[in-house]
Every structure is written in C-alpha cells, then in structure tokens.
Amino acid sequence: MIAVNQLTKSFGVTSVLKGVTLNQAGGTVVSLIGPSGCGKSTFLRCINRLETPDGGTIHLEGQLVTSESGESSRADEARRQRARSRTGMVFQSFNLFPHLTVLENILEAPLRVQKRPRQEVEHEAIQLLRKVGLENRRDFYPSALSGGQQQRVAIARALATKPALLLMDEPTSALDPEMREEVLRVIRGLREEGMTMMIVTHEMELARMAADQVFFFDGGLVAESGPPETVFNAPRFERTRDFLRSLGSR
C-alpha cells in the first residue's frame, strides 16, 4: 500500500529526516511517535508532498509519488497531484475554511478538484457528516463549532475525496479531554471500517488503541518499530523507554 524507502529531508543545514524506511499494508493503522523535532510530522507531510523530500522514494499504491532525478517540473507536479488525490490529511489545528459552512467545506474538493456531480457528492457528504455525528451542523460555520466538532468536520472533509490513505498530524493535541474522546471515537470507527491511516501523535491512548504498528522516531530515524504491545510494554531501546516514561509522567 505505502512503501517509503530511505527518505531524507533537510531544512537549510538542519537534517530532519536521515533515511527513513517504512512500509504499511492497506487497511492497517500505524502511529508515529517520538519527541518533538524527531521528524515524524515532516515525514507525514512528505507523504502528501506538503514537503518535498530531498532524497529517497515514496510509492503509494505501487506508484511513485516522489520526483525522479532529471524529471521536468511538470512531471513532478503530476506526481504531487497523485499523492494528494490519493491521501487525505487531518491537521492539529483543523484548518477548516472559516468562510464556508460545514457542508461547503466538505464539498469543496469533490466538486472543484474532482469535478464530480453536486448531487452525488452532496449525498456522500451528508453520509460522512452522519458518520462523524454532525449531520445537524451542516449549515453551521466553523466558528460556531467546538474544537472537537471542527476536527470531526475536518476528518469528514479529508474523507470526502475518497483517499486510499488518511494522514493525521496530531489530530487530538489541540483538544480538551472530552472533545478528544469524540474524535477518538470517530478514528476508532474508521479503523473498524478498515481505513488505512497514518497517525502522528503524542498521545499514548491514540497510539495504543488505533495502531497495528507503532514507529518510534528519534533524531530523524525510525529508532524502533513493532506492534503497540511490544513497543509500549517491552521497548528495546533506552531512548524509547525514556520517551515513554516522560509521557507517563505528564
């Protein structure tokens, strides 16, 4: 489903990703954990090309979505577009479009990027709203919603383009505990439906409950990976242990 090989990325002189390799099977959920600045968010943002990696490759559903050396900018643009059309993204700060209603937020990409007929996408959008429990908020503006509601709309918006992979960048970090629960419930539901998800998180509960596999990032590399029970209960590396201890003390 997704195969990342030796991905590197620097910002100026700071090397953020130093050769990350990661494979994820379709229908699974992986979580990326690690201390701040370890490169996990940058990694996620490389998958849908919000950041352009310096080296390495990303294959999505068997197709290369990173540029090949010597390729024209036009061909690269096509790969970037492919990465974005096959992924959806949920941000820590929701990033809903404040001037559009809940429904319009969800319809925007299916209507104007995918150019699908309004009737069809509107029908789907309402189903998505039902799925996240907000069908009665379709004509509200984002400012009238709580953080948890906004994030649920953002998830519905990301799903509206029918992505093969859902990228989540700390989806619950900006939320109060009770709102966090609403969002976790939605994510759990998606997992049960077999949605392929890659979740960057600081939150143990989210990493533990959702993930088939956990990747512990440290210093721009994957320091440790495995099923959550192994990584969380019997971490092999000192760094992982330190990190988990620091989370527990919070």
Which residue of 6, 25, 75, 113 would you call a contact of another protein, by CB under 8 A? 113
Among 5, 95, 173, 230, binds another protein (CB under 8 A): 95
Tokens for 88? 């959806």
Comparing CB distances to another protein, the nearer of 168 and 222 is 168
Site for another protein in 45-64 (CB under 8 A): 48, 50
Continuous H helices in 113-176: 118-131, 147-159
Distance of closest approach, residue 216 Cβ to another protein, in angstroms: 25
Our CB check for another protein shows the closer of 85 and 213 to be 85
Residues in 230-249 at the binding interface with another protein, rule: CB under 8 A: none
Q: Write the binding mask 121 to 160 for another protein: x where contact by CB under 8 A, - elsewhere.
A: --------------------xxxx---------x--xx--
Q: Check if the beta carbon of residue 218 is closer than 8 Å to that of residue 244.
A: no
Q: Does 72 bind another protein (CB under 8 A)?
A: no
- We find the least distance from the C-beta atom of residue 250 to another protein, in angstroms, to be 25
Decide: helix, strand or coil at residue 53: coil
The amino acid occupying position 21 is T
Q: For the chain, percent helix, then strand, then coil, each to nearest 5?
A: 40, 25, 35
Rounded to the nearest 10 degrees, the angle between the axes of helix 118-131 and helix 147-159 is: 140
User: Tokens 């760094």, residue?
Assistant: 239
Buried b (16+ CB within 10 A) or exposed e, 140-162: ebbeebebbbbbbbbbbbbbbbe
The residues that touch another protein, with contacts defined as CB under 8 A, are 48, 50, 81, 84-85, 87-89, 91, 93, 95-99, 101, 108-109, 112-114, 141-144, 154, 157-158, 161, 167
